[in-house]
Amino acid sequence: MTTATSWTPTGEDLATAYARHADSLRGALRHALVTRALLNHLPAEPQRIVDIGGGAGHQAIALARAGHIVTVIDPDAAMLQRAADALNAEDDTVAARVTLRQGYGEHARDILGGEPVDAACCHGVLMYLDDPAPLLATLVDTVRPDGLISVLTKNRAALAMRPGLEGRWADALAVIDQTTETGNLGLPSRADDLDSTQHALAAAGATTEAWYGVRVFTDHLGDTPVGADFDQILTAEWAAGTRDPYRGVARLFHLIARRSR
Ligand SMILES: C[S@@+](CC[C@H](N)C(=O)[O-])C[C@H]1O[C@@H](n2cnc3c(N)ncnc32)[C@H](O)[C@@H]1O
């Protein structure tokens, strides 16, 4: 089994660092952009969704608010506790739509009792694995024929953009041809090529339906908090993330694929 190599749960430290990031402008934009894209691809009727590496539940809660039924699978107890706390603050109807299960994504089929779901999400997880292919194959295997697969990961083609826009010239040069770097949580993490991710999904039986760039204009803004201009920034990021050439230099790419029938 392939498991996380870089994301070694350290209890509260990592969960706290991730919560800080998720509350920042960059984190809030990421979740809002991914939710917007996903809801465009999912039918309005309630779908059964698994969120592999769903962590503190940001995506699961957004999907549950839209009426979907979500199981979060994550190995990190501290992240799942954050998700449980966030669910406690939700309306009972929304909270009842989310189930939290501790475990590795590679075991998703078993954890779900062998029942295929309508959609599988895996956001911000591949970068912590040495080899993304086995988990990508698991995602495809977890959904029913014609089911949706949603993958968000770090864009290798744009690795030098953040240090470059921050004026860290030596760092920009150091990563320009690399596949790993240290991200904002202080962990080493890997970046992926869009093409190789699409090929790995195709080899597992899923075809790309669309892809989006996530954080084109704002990735160099550090821990800038969410401000009154959030909706305006979101609109600009969405416009850039949905068209070339801008989406190609986004920090993350969000790939939506569909399992063959
Ligand atoms: C950066 S967080 C992202 C959380 C969430 N998906 C989001 O977008 O907010 C990465 C999460 O991946 C989880 N993770 C790491 N390796 C995993 C694996 N092999 N299977 C499932 N989850 C994993 C970690 O425990 C952590 O909660």
CA angle 256, 182, 163 (to 5 degrees): 85
Whether 5 is covered by a domain: the verdict is no
Which residue has the CA at smallest separation from atom 24 of ligand 1?
53
Whether 219 is covered by a domain: the verdict is yes
Which residue among 72, 121, 125, 128 has the greatest number of ligand 1 atoms within 8 angstroms of its CB, and so is best to mutate? 125
Residues of the chain with pLDDT under 70: 1-6, 9-12
Asked whether 59 lines ligand 1 (CB < 6 A), one says yes
pLDDT of residue 2: 45
Return the half-sphere exposure (C-beta side, CA atoms, 13 A cut-off) of residue 190. Answer: 15
pLDDT of residue 15: 87
pLDDT of residue 9: 63
**Alpha-carbon gap, residue 170 to 167, rounded angstroms:** 9
Nearest-atom index, ligand 1, CA of 122: 6
Per-residue pLDDT reduced to its tens digit, 147-177: 999 999 999 999 999 999 999 999 999 999 9
CATH code: domain of residue 179: 3.40.50.150
Whether 6 is covered by a domain: the verdict is no
Tell me which residue has tokens 């550090």.
222
Ligand 1 centroid – CA 22 distance (Å): 13
How many domains are contained in the chain? 1
pLDDT of residue 7: 72
pLDDT of residue 22: 87
DSSP result, 148-193: EEEEEEEBGGGTTHHHHHTT-HHHHHHHTT-SEEE-TTS-EEE-B-
Per-residue pLDDT reduced to its tens digit, 100-137: 999 999 999 999 999 999 999 999 999 999 999 999 99
Share of the chain above pLDDT 70, in %: 96
Whether 7 is covered by a domain: the verdict is no
pLDDT of residue 4: 54
Question: How many C-beta neighbours within 10 Å does residue 11 have?
Answer: 11
